[in-house]
Structure 1
């Protein structure tokens, strides 16, 4: 009996160790992660991208948003989240990395890249993700996809992970895109009971942050966002989208969801389909 229990305990422990991390094969595996998608609908967009990783972004032992991450280009395909009004604070000086993109057996909690390096000296963290030093003196901002201003603490802190940022033109990031994010926040607070967001980037054909003659981080050609607003009964009451060329043109163009699908389809070899369940109708 004791031997059988011991074997069972080992099996259970292995299963728990395998499933507790935040790099998952399917967002639907984790109920606290799939909730960031309207009616649990995960878009097909980006799912066929080679080398993608599905991240349930965990901070302080809680999931705060989900990210489809492109480990080849070392930028996010998109981040999915639910808007939460900011209460200030939570502007991090740290930049987090995803330990399980270094070693799948490491813990699932996002970690400060510096302290992760202290715990595992000599282990290179940047094979499958961008590092803070990639952005240093690059001329590009660490552009949040899921913006810190769309959350209260501690979700606000959790947005400061390098798996949630892309190289963004500083003029765009600090002006038109920031204004776009603020405009959405005002809209959501006044007209939505709950707002589901997808924010992503379109990789460029061959434009990279290069360090030591190595292509490190792809510089996106476009930034894009899409939202679905619901009322207190969970019924859709509004939707929209936007696109911005990632240059100092500093212009954000508003789209409908259907126009956004058409736009994304130009960059996909497979059908994009719906971004939200029933296209938020």
Structure 2
């Protein structure tokens, strides 16, 4: 089963970050604002939307709007989604430690990856929706483990990071608004004690569409990288990227935007 996770920012005096879990994006109109369509209106609350595969404990993709960074550091903590443990629990990203104190003895990792899954396995926690594509305090919402995949450390810290920086420059210079999709193509596993826990991507892909002040597309493209130490990102058109993605599924890919 796949369920979608919509990350929400609730702006209070404490700038709390929260999340909602829904079974379909269309159930929450704010989620749909992260997918380009003519005449759309700006979102009121939601930072980004993630389609999350709870069986493989990895995101299918994240969809977001680019925001110019206003400085500030990285969040030092990693968060889990309480509603993926129990759908009746209150929405709100929490550290595993804090959630464990609120609900002693409850296993948190049945339907999502945990921080411990990434320890001592040689993979980075690779952001799909990068924190550098958001302003403070919104960027803290990207540090949920539903927004990361096991990423080769050399790729994550070198050319993929530079690719994200190049996109940020493009979006600032050329776009009134940029719509972005980022996802993995995953087949392998990492695990503990012979237990399958998290799928490891073979590839990471990115697609974007820039629009002007009237909501008309002005530029689009995408990138594709093998999740290896080869450390290479190849640029693609949206059509070319869509054709590549079709090789990995027996279901229609459709238009990316």
On whether the aligned pair clears a TM of 0.5, the verdict is yes
Q: Look up the match of 1:147.
A: 130
Separation in 1 of the partners of 2:51 and 2:29? 16
CA-CA distance at 1:212 after TM superposition: 2.2
1:197 corresponding residue in structure 2: 180
Structure 2: distance between partners of 1:62 and 1:257:
28
- What does residue 35 of structure 2 align with? 37
Cα distance in 1 for residues equivalent to 2:177 and 2:73: 22
**CA displacement at 1:62 relative to structure 2:** 4.4
Equivalent in 228, 233, 239 of residue 252 of structure 1? 233
How far 1:114 sits from its partner (Å)?
1.3
Aligned residues: 236
Matching of residue 272 in structure 1 with residue 253 in structure 2: yes
Inter-partner Cα distance in structure 2 for 1:124 and 1:40: 43
- Change in Cα spacing, 1:107 to 1:244, as seen in structure 2 (3 Å) is same
CA distance in 2, matches of 1:139, 1:83: 30
**How far, CA to CA, are the matches of 1:68 and 1:62 in structure 2?**
18
Measured against aligned partners, the alpha-carbon deviations of 1:50-70 in whole angstroms (never above 9, x if no partner) come to xxxxxxxxxxx9421000001
Which consecutive unaligned segments of at least 5 residues does structure 2 have?
1-17
Deviations 1:1-31 (A, max 9, x none): xxxxxxxxxxxxxxxxxxx971112212222
The structure whose residues are more often helix, as a share, is 1
Structure 1 position 175, deviation (Å): 0.4
Query: Which aligned runs of 4 or more in structure 1 are off by greater than 3 angstroms?
Result: none
Q: Is the counterpart of residue 117 in structure 1 residue 100 in structure 2?
A: yes
Q: Find the partner of 1:138 among 110, 113, 121.
A: 121
In structure 1, list runs of 5 or more residues that go unmatched: 1-19, 42-60, 277-281
Q: Tell me the equivalent position of 1:26.
A: 24
User: C-alpha separation between the residues in 1 aligned to 2:19 and 2:123?
Assistant: 31
1:240 is matched with which residue: 209, 221, 240?
A: 221
TM-superposed deviation, 1:111: 1.5
Q: State how far apart, in whole Å, the 1-side matches of 2:126 and 2:50 are.
A: 14
Q: 1:24 to 1:74 in 2, by over 3 A?
A: same
Q: Paired residue for 1:172? A: 155
* 1:91 matched residue in structure 2: 74
Distance in 2 between residues matched to 1:32 and 1:112, nearest whole Å:
25
CA RMSD in angstroms comes to 1.7
- Tell which deviates more after alignment, 80-89 or 210-219: 210-219
In structure 1, what is the equivalent of residue 198 of structure 2? 217
- In the TM superposition, what is the alpha-carbon distance from 1:228 to its structure 2 partner? 0.4
- Which structure has the larger Rg over C-alpha atoms? 1
Q: Whose strand fraction is larger, Structure 1's or Structure 2's?
A: 2
How far is 1:267 from its partner? 0.7
**1:58 maps to which residue?**
none
> Could you say what secondary structure the match of 1:68 adopts?
strand
After TM superposition, give the deviation of residue 222 of structure 1 in Å: 0.3
* CA distance in 1 between partners of 2:149 and 2:186 (Å): 10
Secondary structure of 2:99's partner?
Answer: helix
* Structure 1 residues 110-160: Cα deviation after superposition (integer angstroms, max 9, x where no partner): 222210111001000000100000101110000000000000012211000
Residue 90 of structure 1 and its aligned partner are, at CA, apart by: 4.6
> How big is each residue's C-alpha offset from its partner over 1:176-212, in whole Å with a ceiling of 9 and x where there is no partner?
10011000000000000000000000012xx221112
